[in-house]
Amino acid sequence: MSYIFLNLKRFDITPDRGGVNRIAPPAGWAEAIVRRTLAVNDWAEDDFVSFFPEAHLLAAAAAKRETGSRMAVGCQGCAGADTAVGGNFGAFTAQLTANSAAGLGCEWALLGHCEERAAKAGILAAGGGDAAAVDMLLNAEVLRAQEAGLRVLFCIGEKQEELDRWQEVLRAQLTRGLQGADLSRVVIAYEPIWAIGPGKTPPGRERIQETARFVRSVAPLPVVYGGGLKLDNAGMLATIPEIAGGLIALTRFSGEIGFYPDEYVEIARAYLEEKNGR
């Protein structure tokens, strides 16, 4: 079983506003992506999940139903509290709860992404809080997501200043973040934060394999590469037995950079053909 995840970040914003959306007008963006990635239906034994910004979940779920796409729809995070029968009826202004996401048609939640971790850490630091509390906040989100019936892609990763103690950092993120969770409904995405971004050198095969082995020794779960599954690393990642897939964001990194559905399908095909020997 391979997992191909797609995090569409805020790729719905058009270039005139500083974004990278050259696919379709924002109102039809999610539908266009679902319709133009139907080729994933050719790989029946693998899982495909696309995480959309909240505003596009309804359109993505509707397009999935209309087209019969096998791509599951996911949300890019959820609140650490939720509605409950006989309890809070919905007082969560400005927050997407897991029950809301499930009601909109989501099947997965993306939690702990490095951008979410950085935002939470910034808020805690401003208030003099302990950075380790980020894991506790994320743990609440994991538990609420699972209570709502969602599966979880849980992201972990170390920063540049944490490289000398990367095992300690990853172990803490796993143990605190997944405490009490149903591990049968979790996939781990490893994000080498120190290697993500323009001009940075991505880790090689040996480093990725070493990290995946360590993660699986702490939590025996499927591990995907969250540092960017791309056409130029798809074949290499597919040869690592401990890696079960990858997380795609941008598909084009020069010229008119951005996410392009046809290139997404090409990346997925390159990985799966190497992984499955076909």
Span 193-197, average pLDDT: 91
Compute the mean pLDDT over every residue in the chain, rounded to the nearest whole number.
Answer: 96
Average pLDDT over residues 106-122: 96
| pLDDT at site 126 | 81
Q: Is residue 160 very low, low, confident or very high in pLDDT (cuts 50, 70, 90)?
A: very high
Strand segments (E) across the chain: 3-7, 47-52, 72-75, 108-111, 151-156, 186-190, 223-225, 245-248
Segment 135-143 shows an average pLDDT of 97
Q: Look at residue 278 in the predicted model and tell me its pLDDT.
A: 58
Marked catalytic residue, from 31, 113, 116, 141? 113
Enclosing domain of residue 244: 3-276
Region 189-211: mean pLDDT is: 93
Q: How confident is the model at residue 101 (pLDDT cuts 50, 70, 90)?
A: very high
The dihedral built from the CA positions of residue 136, 141, 146 and 152, taken in this order, carries a sign that is negative
**Active-site residue flag, 56:** no
Which pLDDT score, from 0 to 100, does residue 129 have?
73
Report the CATH number that the domain containing residue 195 is assigned in CATH: 3.20.20.70
Q: Is the pLDDT of residue 127 over 90?
A: no
Domain count, the chain: 1
Start-to-end CA span in the chain (Å): 15
Average the pLDDT over 46-67 and give the result. 98
The residue from 31, 141, 158, 191 that is catalytic is: 191
